[in-house]
Amino acid sequence: MKKIFILTGEPSGDKLASEVISKLKNNNPNIEYLSVGGSNLKNLGIQSIFDLKDITYLGFTSVLLNILKIRKKINTTVDEIIKFNPDILFSVDSPDFTMRVAEKVKIINPKIKTIHYVAPQVWVWRESRVKKIKNFIDHILLLFDFEKKYFDKENVKSTFVGHPLIENRKKIKTNLDNFLTDNKKIISIFPGSRKSETTVLLPILLDFIQLMNQKNLEYSFVFHSTEENKEFIVNSIKDKNIENLNVISDDELKSQVLSKSIFAICKSGTVSLQVCSAQIPSIIIYKLNFINFMIFKFLVNVKFANIINIINNKEVIPELLQSECNANEIFKSVNYLLKKPDLIRKQLEECNKTLEGIRSKSSSSTEASLILQNYLVS
């Protein structure tokens, strides 16, 4: 029986991996799996060698403070992969964890094929990583077509598979009658998939909601959470007595609620692509501690935090970062845009045009699963 070890480093990677593996399982049920994964892979019946939360850290200082723990987890993971002896090591995103593991595995057992899904953003910073990557990654699966030139330059085998968040998915209707009972306008809020991100942004976002409620009560606010973070968010807000606030984690429900929203507030990251694809106007927020921000600013070579803005080299979606990421600025920005339908229309038009330029012709997870299948039979 063929074997695949699935290696993720955070909940978003676990979600992406599960969509690929779900399709692979449908086409080839006779594969044995083991993973470093979360709830989505667990729902497919795939065991994880430890809890994903043990390796999810935000920012350079957090990583440095936990470096010994991370090194131990890397070494433990390598040992378990070698013991499992898979045909394929399928790593997803989180390159500072997954690629360190893949490099060590390749040295110990070069016969294991290493396939990485979601290329590290070498176009943002550390482009020199590509030269190293070619020594231990057999095939890299790209979310954006423009990334290919960086890997072709160093003869790294790569395939553009497209971004799963902007696929033309078949919509499943969910009954929202029990969820949306007050007919208020919905503002969707995405506080991040990592607990460390959510911990920073949640107090700011709760203050923003309270500011909004002081002015009017016509809005309903919905936190879009991962399953892993839901309990943390619910416990954090239960003493706030905010009646027009809900927390959801079910993917279909999140998709339906987003489609009914009039606005979205997104932590900087790929979730903004999903929001753009749903044609919902938005702003981007993010905050690191001062040391992390200065290191980040020194290392990166792009002007913007959001992928839509980076591609266009201008601020299509407003970004509130660092000191501007506070309740008052979010309040002002949201209210300003809600009163400017012409600006909202322009944002949505530019987002749609950008998405059309980077959308793949087929499903990203289907393409990725076919590549895995080809390696299993080759």
Contact between residue 137 and residue 156 where contact means Cβ atoms under 8 Å apart: yes
Write the burial class of residue 201 (CB in 10 Å: 0-12 exposed, 13-18 middle, 19+ buried).
Answer: buried
Number of C-beta neighbours around residue 185 at 10 A: 12
- Give DSSP secondary structure letters for 3-40: EEEEEESSHHHHHHHHHHHHHHHHH---EEEEEE--HH
Q: pLDDT digit string (tens) for 42-92?
A: 999 999 999 887 776 544 445 555 667 778 899 999 999 999 999 999 999
Rounded mean pLDDT of the chain?
89
Torsion sign over Cα 360, 366, 368, 373: negative
Contact between residue 189 and residue 246 where contact means Cβ atoms under 8 Å apart: no
pLDDT at 335: 96
Alpha-carbon gap, residue 114 to 139, rounded angstroms: 7
pLDDT at 24: 97
Q: pLDDT digit string (tens) for 84-142?
A: 999 999 999 988 899 999 999 999 999 999 999 999 877 655 677 888 999 999 999 99
Taking CA atoms, 140 is separated from 30, 117, 216, 295, 303, in Å, by: 24, 6, 49, 27, 26
Stretch 152-164: mean pLDDT, rounded? 93
Domains annotated on the chain, with CATH:
2-163+360-377 (3.40.50.2000), 185-358 (3.40.50.2000)
Alpha-carbon gap, residue 243 to 255, rounded angstroms: 22
Question: Greater confidence, 294 or 187?
Answer: 187
Alpha-carbon gap, residue 9 to 40, rounded angstroms: 13
pLDDT at 300: 62
Number of C-beta neighbours around residue 95 at 10 A: 21
Residue type, 148: K
What letter does residue 170 receive in the DSSP assignment?
Answer: P
Number of C-beta neighbours around residue 218 at 10 A: 12
pTM for the complete prediction?
0.77
Q: pLDDT digit string (tens) for 265-311?
A: 999 888 899 999 999 999 999 997 665 555 555 556 667 889 899 88
pLDDT at 173: 62
Strands (E), 254-325: 261-267, 282-286, 319-321
Question: How many CA atoms within 13 Å lie on the side-chain side of 41?
Answer: 30
| Residues written for the chain | 378
Q: Name the pLDDT band for 239 (thresholds 50, 70, 90).
A: confident
Stretch 177-184: mean pLDDT, rounded? 68
Question: In this prediction, what percent of the chain has a pLDDT beyond 70?
Answer: 88
Strands (E), 2-148: 2-8, 31-36, 88-92, 113-117, 139-142
Q: pLDDT digit string (tens) for 27-43?
A: 899 999 999 999 999 99
Q: pLDDT digit string (tens) for 337-377?
A: 999 999 999 999 999 999 987 888 789 999 999 999 999 98
Question: What distance, in Å, lies between the first and last C-alpha atoms of the chain?
Answer: 14
**Phi/psi at 94 (5° precision):** 40, 55
